[in-house]
Amino acid sequence: MRKQDCFYLGKIVRKHSFRGEVVAKLDTDEPELYKNLESVFVALGNNLVPFFIEESLLQKGNQLRIQFEDVESEEDADAILGSELYLPLEFLPKLTGNKFYFHEIIGFDIEDLNYGYVGVITGVNDSSAQPLFEIDSNGAEVFIPMIDDFIKKVDRDNKKIIVEAPAGLIDLYLNN
C-alpha cells in the first residue's frame, strides 16, 4: 500500500501497559467511526506495514487504545511509538454538499462569483490558522481562505468550486 492511496488517521502517542498496548491520537472529528477497525497501516521508515488489531477502546475523545497482534511487550510498543497510522482512502466516509476532503479537490477548477475563472487548485495550505486554497492562475499563485461563507458550491461532477472571495483579494495576486 502506498501513502498516496491512504489517508492519515493519527499517530501512536504513548504506551498504555506493559503488555504492548498503545494509545493513538486520531486526527478526526468523528473518532467513533474508527473504534472497531480490524487493521491499520503503520508507517515504519518509508513503508506502510499492516498491523492487525486484537482489541481497541475509544477513550478521552479522540484517543484510541489499541492492542495489536504480535505487539506483546513494552519493547514491541517502543518500536512503533511515534509512528503514523493510515487507512485506505475507501475507508473515508463520503462527504456531500459543500464539505470535502483536502485531497479530493486537488485539480478542481475554482471560480469566483465576481471575478470569474481563477485557476486550478494545486493544493491546500493548512499550516496557518485558516486553511487556504492554493491556486495556479496561469503561473501566478493565488491563495483564497477556505471559509464556509466564501465557499458557495462544490460541484464534484464538473470538478469545480465556486467561491465568493472578498472584493479585491484575487486582484492582489494577479495585478502586479
Each domain of the chain, given as residue ranges in start order, spans 3-91, 102-174
d(CA 50, CA 81): 15
160-163 β-sheet, strand order: 140-145, 132-137, 116-125, 109-112, 160-163, 151-155
Task: Give me the percent of the chain exceeding a pLDDT of 90.
Answer: 74
Q: Which helix (H) or strand (E) element contains residue 140? A: strand 140-145
The tens-digit pLDDT sequence of the chain (176 residues) is 888 889 999 999 999 989 999 999 998 878 888 989 999 999 998 899 999 999 999 998 899 999 999 999 999 999 999 999 999 988 888 888 898 888 889 999 999 999 999 999 999 998 888 999 999 999 999 999 999 999 999 999 999 999 999 999 999 998 85
Classify strands 22-26 and 116-125 as parallel, antiparallel or unpaired.
Answer: unpaired
d(CA 111, CA 24): 39
Q: 3-class SS at 4?
A: helix
Q: For the structural domain made of 3-91, what CATH number should be given?
A: 2.40.30.60
CATH classification (class only), 102-174:
mainly beta
The one-letter amino acid code at 161 reads: I
The one-letter amino acid code at 122 reads: T
Q: Is the pTM of this model over 0.85?
A: no
